[in-house]
Amino acid sequence: MPYLFTSESVSEGHPDKVADQISDNLVDHFLAFDPSSKVACETLVTTGQVVLAGEVKSKTYLDVQQLARDVIKRIGYTKSEYMFEANSCGVLSAIHEQSPDINQGVERTKAEDQGAGDQGMMFGYATNETENYMPLALDLSHRILQELAALRKAGKKMKYLRPDSKSQVTIEYDDNHKPIRIDSIVVSTQHDDFDVDKKMLAQIKEDVISIVIPKVKKGLKKNIQKLFTKDITYHVNPTGKFVIGGPHGDTGLTGRKIIVDTYGGKGAHGGGAFSGKDPSKVDRSAAYATRHIAKNLVAAGVADEILVQVSYAIGVAKPTNIYVNTNGSAKVKMTDAQIAKKVAQVFDMRPYAIEKRLKLRKPIYSDTAAYGHMGRTPEKKKLTFVDGSGKSKTMNVETFTWEKLDYVSKVKKAFKL
């Protein structure tokens, strides 16, 4: 019997994502000037205020207040009427040094013996229903908000847009778990107060359907475009006008959008947030590594969809388990347990090995903090960072390395495909 599945996304201007981006901007700057930095930084944003807290061990000094303002400005909170503005908001830093009790469990004489930064379980997931091996509902939700942000920043159409927005997509699937059609699309976007409520809301809904959705469709393959039928139910700003938004409308915190950050409710999540953490925290690095495994296995033809779990004990390098679930979609004559055993042979899941394999000691995290950590396109970039003394440093980095299909040949060889 057909069923419905829903995923949501939030924009870079959503208060929780503002917090994530500030935290990851700090991580990047610490790593740029001291790659061995240990960082666990949380951010809170509310009306006219930013609070930074957490633990850091680093040889570098940063102007964290200015780095927070830089992010807020880049997102688009640059007007006083937003009640949260880059130059005028207060920024309080309560960052202190990392606990030596934690540090002793992570650092080792031999780098490869580096222990996990915490206990816990992490999940990676991949499905072949999209080109980027992501669940379709989440992929579409991200795309809607990326187009909305691009329109806002271009300033030529929908000039009333403000930074805060959310989207949600519901898709109908058949009994074989294949998408049949898009059932509904929800878009809530912050906006200027530019007309009487009824006319204003009608204009926003019309623009979303006639401007944003066609832009989204244009970037999709034909088989996905066909899912956009005339029968889609659109809910655009369903509560009414949305003028008050961002950190003034809702307090934001680092790590509150972990399902948006990963797979939109498909697969599973271990509960640990990513943003604000250096890669010694397996909440982040092992989640990226399991996504890398799942994506390469699906791309190699091991299964149509794969969920990978790994778990750790704090201070211990070797994982306590590796688990695989193909949901009955395996294309190889092996049990899921046998697939998991093979995965452990192909992929070294010790924290140090993950950091090296995916080049995670580079300042690559700001790009991950909005529109998802998974399903993104790897890029080689030249980035410039500034420390607390005003000294700048330009670096070549490679982002989203865990999205590379660089292990497909190794997987095929291991599974004799």
Which residue ranges make up the annotated binding site?
14, 16, 42, 55, 98, 164-166, 241-242, 250, 256-257, 273, 277, 281
E strand residue ranges, 174-226: 179-191
Give the side-chain half-sphere CA count within 13 A for 362.
21
Instruction: Please calculate the CA angle 305-360-28 and round it to the nearest 5 degrees.
Output: 120
Secondary structure tally for the chain: helices H, strands E: 13, 13
d(Cα 17, Cα 128) in Å, to the nearest integer? Answer: 28
Residue 354: closest CA among 306, 262, 283 = 283
Detail the residues annotated as belonging to a binding site for ATP: 14, 164-166, 241-242, 250, 256-257, 273, 277
Detail the residues annotated as belonging to a binding site for L-methionine: 55, 98, 250, 281
Residues facing residue 169 across a β-bridge: 7, 185
Query: Rounded to whole angstroms, what are the CA distances from 14 to 109, 184, 393?
Result: 42, 22, 30
- List of residues 6+ apart from 135 with CB closer than 8 A: 5, 7, 125, 127, 129, 263, 264, 265, 266, 267
- Length of the chain counted residue by residue: 417
Detail the residues annotated as belonging to a binding site for Mg(2+): 16
Detail the residues annotated as belonging to a binding site for K(+): 42
